[in-house]
Structure formats: C-alpha cells, structure tokens
Chains A and B, each alone.
Chain A
Amino acid sequence: MIVLAVDVEKQLGTFKVNVRFEAVGGAIALFGPSGSGKTSLVNMVAGLLEPDRGIIALDDTVLFDAGRNIDVPPHKRRIGYVFQEGRLFPHLSVRQNLDYGRRMNGQPRDQNEFDRIAALLDIGQLLDRRPRMLSGGERQRVAVGRALLMRPRLLLLDEPLASLDAGHKREILPYLVRLRDEAKVPIVYVSHMPAEVRRIATEVVLLNDGKVVATGGLDLLKDADTDLL
C-alpha cells in the first residue's frame, strides 16, 4: 500500500498538464485516452521530467517540491519504471540487464531473489540471450524483472502492453496479475485499455486532456469506456 500525492503543473508546448490527485492503494491505474498526459505524469513521478511547479510525494517522502527547491534525482528515487518499449540495454545480456539495478544501487547479490523474480516472470531460460534475440513479450517481461530487482518502493508500468500484439498481451497479463499479488511492490499502471486496467488495478485516476477527471474505484471505468474511448 502506498499513498501517492501529486499536485503538479507542466507546460509542454501548447499542451498543459495540470494534475492533482491523491491515490492510496497497491495497484493504482492512471487511465485516459492517448494524449491525456499519462506518460508525462509518470515521467514526473520518476524524475525524468521536471514539473514547472507543484509537489510530488510518495508516502512520507517528498520527491519534488518546487516551493522548497526539492527535486530528488531519478537515480535516488528508487522507483522502478517499465517503459512502453522496454528499453533493455542492447549491449548487455538479459542476466546483466536484470542485474543492472542491483549493481548501480550497491546492493549485495541475492540469488534467491533473482531466482524468485526470474521464476515469477518465467524468464530463467533467457538469461544468456541479448535483448535483440527476444520476442516483444519476452522483452517486456525482462523489463519488468529488471525494474523489480532493484527493489523499488514503487513500480511504474507505462502501457507495458502497448507495443505488443493481442497474443502477446494475453501472454503477459497473467504475469502482471501475479506481480501485483506476489511481488508486494505497489504498482502505478498506465493504460488506455479498460480491459487491462480492470484486471490489474484496484484504484483508478481518470485523466483527460492533462487534467484529472475523477478518482475512485474500478466502477469509474464503466462510464469512461464510452466517454473517453
């Protein structure tokens, strides 16, 4: 369970993100149509995009506060981020990709944890391959494993299924559900697909045109299906 409190403004060209919400839970969905500012918002939570003003806080840690000049750099936020396109390091093997976060954070090697995550995501047989040799679905599973193995306090999943075809989507969804139930890491799940959100999230923040439309439970999606998509 986490408390994610966001109150930020960011001008991006002619588009303005002006978002304010507080979400409590283990699996929060940021839901809205393409171009509603979801990715900009998670980039701000991860520290990759600096808001023009506002506050971002995770539980009792302030990650960003323009007024107090606080801006924790991304490498100190300990927020795992699974990108739409995976972004595995092409020059490293799957094993080295998975190990990257642990090495950078100076954590001791923990073979049990490594094996547990590899088994959870079913990627144990891919360890010696290069990212280029993986299918789209395998790549996303490795990306999830890489983010999990840095022991994040929050996992951001930005449309992790968007680049996959229908078959691979079906392949990955069960892993994400397992992730939510077994990994015990709070998740922020970004998507514009109600079906995905329904399977994974418990809380929903509804976004449209750079603003929060509503915050609540999964029942929000019923109206959203017709309104937004």
Chain B
Amino acid sequence: MLGLTPEEWTAVELSLRISIVATVCALPFGIALGWLLARKQFWGKTLLDGIVFLPLVLPPVVTGYLLLIWFGRRGPVGEFLYDWFGIVLSFRWTGAALSCGVMGFPLMVRPIRLALEAIDRKLEDAASTLGANNLRVFLTVTLPLALPGVIAGVVLCFARALGEFGATITFVSNIPGETQTISAAIYTLTQIPGGDAEAGKLVLISILLAFAALVASEWLSRRAAIRFHGE
C-alpha cells in the first residue's frame, strides 16, 4: 500500500506507538500539574511553571542532550532505572517516547490548566454539600467540566510527539526499527542521493496523520461540548 517499503512501514508504526505511549504516560502528570498550577499557591510555583514550559522554548537538541545526560545508562536517573527496574531508555523506543512526552508536555499542561481555571468553583462546593469528598468532587465535577481542555491538551501533545525530531535524535539516535520515526526516516532519506521520492511518500503520510489528529480532536471536543454544556 502506498508503495512503502517494510522499513518505512516500521517507521510509521514506531511513530504512532511512540506518540501514543508518550501521550498516555504524560496525561496523568499533565492533569496533576495543570491542577497544581491552576489551584494551588506554593513556594517555587513560578519556577515550576518555568521548568514545565522550558522544552517549548529551548532548542530541542538541548532538551535531548539533557535527557541523554540524566536518563542515559550512566546518567543519575538512567542508572537508577536500570539498577532497580532493568529499564533502559537510551537508544530504545521507550527513550523516544520519553523525549516526545517531555517535548509535548508543555502543550498538554497549558489547555488543561486553563480549563481548570475556568471552572466555576461554586459547583464543586455544591458537590461537597451533596456528600462528595475531594477526590469524588474532582472525578465527577471538575474533570468532566475540564474535559474539552484535556482533549485539546492530549491532541496537541500527540501532534507534537508525532513531529518530534531534534530531542529524540539527540537522545536515542536514529536506529531503524528501534528509534527511527517518520521524521527521522525522512531526514535520513533526504541525505541519500535519489531518496526524495521515498521521502515524499512519508511526507504525505505525515500530513495525513496530522490532519486525522486535527479532525479527531475537533470531533471529540464538539461531542464533549454537546455532552457537557447542552446542545
């Protein structure tokens, strides 16, 4: 189909797997941090806010390099993960998922935070007088009302993960079948004489995936809006 070679299909499949895993793993942290930034006042909040948004403004290569230093086999976190859990991130697809998750994280946190800030706290008070403890207020009132923001955050993070290149290639390199995503494959092909035609097919797939993600998000947020705010 589409005249793609098995290697190129592997790149497509890897890209999707990495982006999905990155987004799913980032989501609980994104919601927790969005809530923390929206609702709590604490010492160092501005700093935390800055750190979360750093990957958005840093050159991706720098983020990738920092990940390599910390999460590489000899890095402080990487060594811990390997010794205690046998997890290796460097030069593995799981490492690519980490770098994609980190790069997409600020884009996920922002809409979630804004959605949480926009919620009428009085509805939460009403829920608590009706017998809901804090966790249940969050699960039955806060989160459902913030759902459009959560969907927006998920889609943005997923799209960013799908397009991630700089941090990923720096952290986990460009290994076909393990860490070579669509972006990395396109880059490789453009470095080979006569690789343009092959690259073109992957470019087309990239555009299709991005478009599908956009359509899906539109559809989901419209459904959520209808469901939660009436037709």
Contact B131 A78 (CB under 8 A): yes
**Contact present for A132 and B230 (CB under 8 Å):** yes
How far apart are the CA atoms of A47 and B131 in the complex, in Å? 12
Q: Indicate if A79 sits at the interface (CB-CB under 8 A).
A: yes
Q: A91 to chain B: closest CB distance in Å?
A: 4
Interface centre among A47, A77, A104 (most CB of B within 10 A): A104
Asked whether any CB of chain B lies closer than 8 Å to the CB of A130, the reply is yes
**A105 at interface, CB cutoff 8 A:** yes
Q: With an 8 A cutoff between CB atoms, is A100 at the interface?
A: yes
Chain B residue with the shortest CB-CB distance to A78 = B131
Q: Which stretch in B21-29, B84-92, B102-110, B120-128 binds the other chain?
A: B120-128
Interface string of B137-151 (1 = CB under 8 A from A): 100110011000000
Given contact pairs A90-B145, A91-B144, A132 touches B129 in the complex (Cβ within 8 A): no
Please determine whether A104 and B131 come into contact, CB atoms closer than 8 angstroms: yes
Please name all residues of chain A whose beta carbon is closer than 8 Å to the beta carbon of B132 when the two chains form the complex: 75, 100, 104
Chain B residue numbers with a CB within 8 Å of A131 are 230
**Also in contact, A81 and B227, with CB within 8 A (given A101-B131, A104-B131):** no
On whether the beta carbons of B125 and A130 are closer than 8 Å, the reply is no
Contact across chains for B128 and A87 when beta carbons are under 8 A apart: no
1/0 per residue, CB under 8 A from B, across A88-99: the answer is 011100000000
- Smallest distance from the beta carbon of A40 to chain B beta carbons, Å? 13
Does B229 sit at the interface, judged by CB under 8 A? yes
Q: Dominant SS at the B interface?
A: helix
Mark A126-144 against chain B: 1 for CB-CB distance below 8 A, else 0.
0000111100000000000
Count class of interface residues, chain B: 20 to 34
Determine whether the beta carbon of B230 is less than 8 Å from that of A104.
no
Contact B123 A73 (CB under 8 A): no
Q: Give the residue of A80, A85, A90, A133 whose beta carbon is less than 8 angstroms from that of B129.
A: A80
Determine whether B219 belongs to the interface, using a CB cutoff of 8 Å to chain A. no
| Contact with A75, one of B128, B141, B144 (Cβ below 8 angstroms) | B128
- The answer, yes or no, to whether A48 is at the interface (CB within 8 Å) is yes
The CA-CA distance from A105 to B127 in the complex, in Å, is 11
A194 at the interface (CB under 8 A from B): no
Contact A90 B228 (CB under 8 A): yes
Q: In whole angstroms, what is the CA distance A147 to B228 when docked?
A: 21
Compute how far the CA of A213 lies from the CA of B59 in the bound complex, rounded to whole angstroms. Answer: 68
Q: Which residues of A contact B127 (CB under 8 A)?
A: 89, 100, 104
The 24 sampled A-B contact pairs (Cβ below 8 Å) are: A48-B128, A73-B133, A74-B125, A75-B128, A75-B131, A75-B133, A77-B129, A87-B122, A87-B126, A89-B127, A89-B141, A90-B123, A90-B145, A91-B228, A91-B229, A100-B132, A101-B131, A104-B132, A104-B136, A104-B140, A105-B131, A130-B230, A131-B230, A132-B230
Residue ranges of B at the interface with A (Cβ–Cβ < 8 Å):
122-123, 125-133, 136-137, 140-141, 144-145, 227-231
Which positions in A face B, CB cutoff 8 Å? Answer: 46-48, 73-81, 83, 85, 87, 89-91, 100-101, 104-105, 130-133, 146-147, 150
- A75-B129, A79-B129 given. 19 additional CB < 8 A pairs? A46-B129, A47-B128, A47-B129, A74-B125, A75-B128, A81-B129, A87-B122, A87-B125, A90-B229, A91-B141, A91-B228, A100-B127, A101-B130, A101-B131, A104-B132, A105-B131, A131-B230, A133-B230, A150-B131
